């Protein structure tokens, strides 16, 4: 067999994009839309970015529909231009190389300085899309070096990097920040809003965070999302901070030189500043006393009180503002779940709103992922001159949350299992003082599926066993009256309190503190979580950990309450760890009694051999259960 002839020679350089004609036509459409001030220019730009990333040649516009940002309209435009191109140049005209006699695109014209190996009838220069990549810089040796990315001053990237860097330098920093607190602290360093888009635009300044993640300056992990700096981001942030300090130092030197030129003293003592500092220190010391009041009983006799270093409390003014709310700078507002005002009996639910309005209660209707009523401390903010919307106020959730139950609703929730799940979620929501508001509904209790004694026993168990505070009322009017009294009580209770932010993610145990005597505490808790973090953490459909799924499995077993499931999780946090413990037992009798001695609840009772045997049979029986 004759061997195939080997062709020698240099290969033709492959163009940077295999579809240069399509790219040129889209660039022309983008430039035309930009000249006319149409928003379609952004649509064409997205299509250009997708086409530049696609490595394979396309035969027509219909094939381009598989690409991102290519719709029927853009594909039709490409097919029409392709038909016109074939009519002018013939049906066999090439479409995967750009002819030099073609009109140069507006983004980058064809260059005549081509290598000698390039065919004279084609040009490999491709129009470049705007933005999206850092510009490359050609060195003397011909290699290209990527330019270091440095965000502009007062931009979103600048504010986020600088805020994360300053937060990481604080004593006791957790090394990351949540979205809500990062937006609040970074807002003062950015000219645009992180939550409200500019007039006529769709995106906020927060959209720039995705660019920081792509450039490996920022990393996002866990749920809720935690944002922290990478090594590269830390280096860029240090550079920004040094430039900021140099700029501030230069301004101080200028002020000092001006004062010396005027013959004044270079240092001036502001007595009002010292008074404000003493006022803040007094409040901080009051807060520390309140914070440590619950831990006094646990301190051994004769031991010294913890020493709080003053340097750990003194941060910059921006950081202090983001860390707490001073007395007089916030309002106590009642939050009502929107399901309490819509659906079902509209007349009855509107009656609650009318009663609250008649009583002069400041309330806000919003979606609550757990509970029906709660209270937030909302920061007082004033509109900023020159901005359309006022700044987003900080909101800290007070420790009180109410679940409202009519007798008929209580009966239905007991039958379908929602009652146990709601109590479990309330105890895990992070608020220490849950309340059950039970409406008797008059004669409606006579037509229920469960006997009244069963319902009364469930209410008593909620108060005695689960340690919830239970308030019984007769109708909607009394419910509104109780909410009014509670609102005014909390307004008086917190009127002279400095409220500090705490993160639920940093707590060692997410379980409510009612079992630790939190409800009997005389002083209100001043360490509060933000409403955004609270509501997100209470989501029912969020991604669950293996531990949470195991807990839900255990609670489906008859006789295992939330307290018993939590006690089992302390010893065996996953199904795998429980199965490993079963495998280490020598006999079946030992396996059946493995969980019997685990203690739960305030009274520290044993789970018992019956439930222990049930769990063993559920997870270790081969085949279907009998």
Q: What are phi and psi of 408, to 5 degrees?
A: -65, -40
Residues 330 and 378 sit within 8 Å (Cβ to Cβ): yes
Q: What is the CA radius of gyration of the chain?
A: 33
Reduced to 3 states (helix: H, G, I; strand: E, B; else coil), residue 122 is: strand
Question: Has 337 been annotated as catalytic?
Answer: yes
Q: What are phi and psi of 520, to 5 degrees?
A: -90, 0
The DSSP symbol for 530 reads B
What is the Cα–Cα distance from 534 to 72, expressed in whole angstroms?
Answer: 43
Give the Cβ contact number of residue 162 at 10 Å.
Answer: 21
The DSSP symbol for 36 reads T
Reduced to 3 states (helix: H, G, I; strand: E, B; else coil), residue 451 is: coil
Residues 54 and 23 sit within 8 Å (Cβ to Cβ): no
393: its two tokens: 């106020």
What is the Cα–Cα distance from 122 to 106, expressed in whole angstroms?
Answer: 18
Question: Has 340 been annotated as catalytic?
Answer: yes
Helices (H) and strands (E) in the chain, counts: 21, 18
Question: Has 231 been annotated as catalytic?
Answer: no
- List 606's β-bridge partners, or say none: 599
Catalytic site residue from 340, 475, 505, 515: 340
Cis peptide before 224 (omega within 30 of 0): yes
What is the Cα–Cα distance from 166 to 316, expressed in whole angstroms?
Answer: 10
What is the Cα–Cα distance from 205 to 511, expressed in whole angstroms?
Answer: 36
What is the Cα–Cα distance from 419 to 421, expressed in whole angstroms?
Answer: 6
Q: What are phi and psi of 77, to 5 degrees?
A: -60, -45
Task: Pick left, alpha or beta for residue 246 (phi over 0 → left; psi -120 to 50 → alpha; otherwise beta).
Answer: alpha
Catalytic site residue from 372, 379, 395, 439: 372
566: its two tokens: 């939590």
Q: What angle do CA 592, 598, 599 make, to 5 degrees?
A: 145
List strand residue ranges (DSSP E) for 272-362, in order. 324-325, 330-337
Residue with tokens 């130092």: 249
Residues 156 and 183 sit within 8 Å (Cβ to Cβ): no
Catalytic site residue from 185, 290, 337, 355: 337
Residues 197 and 204 sit within 8 Å (Cβ to Cβ): yes
Residues 185 and 159 sit within 8 Å (Cβ to Cβ): no
What is the Cα–Cα distance from 475 to 352, expressed in whole angstroms?
Answer: 10
| 213-240 residues labelled b (16+ CB within 10 A) or e (exposed) | eebebbeeeeebebbbbeeebbebbeeb
At how many degrees (to 10) do helices 156-168 and 231-261 cross? 90
Reduced to 3 states (helix: H, G, I; strand: E, B; else coil), residue 296 is: coil
- List 396's β-bridge partners, or say none: 377, 530
142: its two tokens: 């011909």
**Catalytic residue set:** 337, 340, 372
């Amino acid at each position: 067999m004759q061997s195939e002839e080997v062709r020698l020679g240099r290969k033709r350089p492959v163009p940077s994009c295999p579809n240069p004609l399509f790219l040129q036509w889209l660039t022309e459409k983008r430039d035309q839309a930009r000249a006319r001030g149409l928003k379609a220019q952004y649509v064409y730009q997205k299509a250009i970015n997708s086409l530049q990333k696609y490595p394979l040649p396309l035969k027509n516009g219909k094939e381009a529909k598989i690409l991102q940002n290519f719709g029927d309209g853009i594909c039709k435009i490409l097919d029409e231009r392709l038909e016109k191109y074939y009519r002018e140049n013939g049906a066999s005209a090439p479409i995967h190389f750009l002819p030099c006699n073609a009109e140069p695109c507006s983004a980058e014209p064809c260059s005549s300085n081509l290598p000698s190996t390039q065919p004279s009838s084609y040009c490999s220069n491709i129009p470049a899309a705007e933005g999206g990549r850092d510009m490359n810089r050609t060195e003397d040796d011909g290699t290209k070096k990527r330019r270091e990315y440095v965000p502009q001053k007062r931009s979103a990237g600048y504010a986020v990097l600088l805020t994360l860097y300053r937060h990481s330098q604080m004593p006791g920093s957790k090394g990351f920040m949540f979205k809500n607190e990062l937006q609040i602290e970074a807002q003062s360093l950015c000219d645009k809003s992180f939550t409200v888009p500019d007039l006529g635009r769709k995106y906020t300044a927060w959209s720039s965070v995705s660019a920081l993640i792509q450039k490996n300056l920022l990393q996002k992990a866990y749920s809720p999302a935690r944002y922290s700096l990478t090594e590269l981001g830390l280096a860029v942030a240090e550079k920004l901070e040094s430039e900021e300090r140099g700029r501030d130092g230069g301004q101080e030197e200028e002020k000092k030189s001006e004062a010396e030129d005027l013959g004044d003293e270079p240092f001036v003592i502001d007595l009002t500043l010292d008074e404000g500092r003493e006022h803040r220190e007094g409040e901080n010391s009051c807060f520390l006393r309140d914070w440590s009041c619950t831990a006094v009983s646990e301190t051994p006799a004769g031991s010294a009180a913890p020493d709080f270093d003053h340097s750990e409390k003194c941060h910059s003014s921006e950081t202090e503002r983001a860390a707490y709310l001073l007395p007089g700078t916030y309002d106590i507002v009642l939050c009502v779940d929107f399901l309490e005002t819509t659906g079902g009996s509209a007349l009855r639910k509107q009656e609650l709103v009318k009663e609250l309005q008649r009583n002069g209660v400041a309330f806000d209707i919003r979606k609550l992922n757990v509970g029906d009523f709660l209270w937030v401390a909302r920061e007082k903010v004033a509109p900023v001159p020159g901005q359309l919307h006022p700044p987003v106020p900080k909101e800290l959730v007070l420790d009180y949350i109410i679940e409202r139950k009519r007798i008929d609703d209580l009966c239905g929730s007991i039958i379908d299992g929602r009652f146990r799940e709601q109590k479990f979620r309330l105890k895990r929501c992070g608020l220490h003082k849950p309340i059950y508001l039970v409406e008797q509904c008059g004669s409606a209790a006579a037509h229920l599926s469960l006997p009244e004694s069963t319902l009364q026993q469930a209410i008593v168990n909620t108060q005695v066993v689960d340690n919830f505070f239970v308030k019984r009322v007769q109708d909607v009017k009394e419910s509104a009256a109780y909410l009014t009294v509670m609102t005014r009580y909390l307004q008086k209770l917190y009127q002279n309190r400095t409220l500090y932010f705490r993160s639920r993610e940093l707590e060692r145990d997410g379980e409510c503190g009612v079992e630790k005597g939190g409800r009997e505490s005389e002083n209100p808790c001043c360490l509060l979580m933000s409403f955004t973090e609270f509501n997100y953490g209470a989501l029912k459909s969020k991604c669950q950990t293996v531990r949470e799924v195991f807990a839900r499995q255990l609670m489906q077993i008859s006789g295992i309450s939330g307290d018993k499931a939590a006690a089992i999780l302390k010893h065996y946090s996953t199904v795998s760890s429980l199965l490993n413990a079963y495998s280490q037992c020598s006999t079946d009798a030992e396996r059946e009694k493995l969980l019997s001695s685990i203690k739960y609840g305030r009274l520290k009772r044993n789970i018992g051999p019956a439930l222990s045997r049930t769990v063993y049979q559920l997870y270790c029986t081969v085949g279907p259960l009998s």
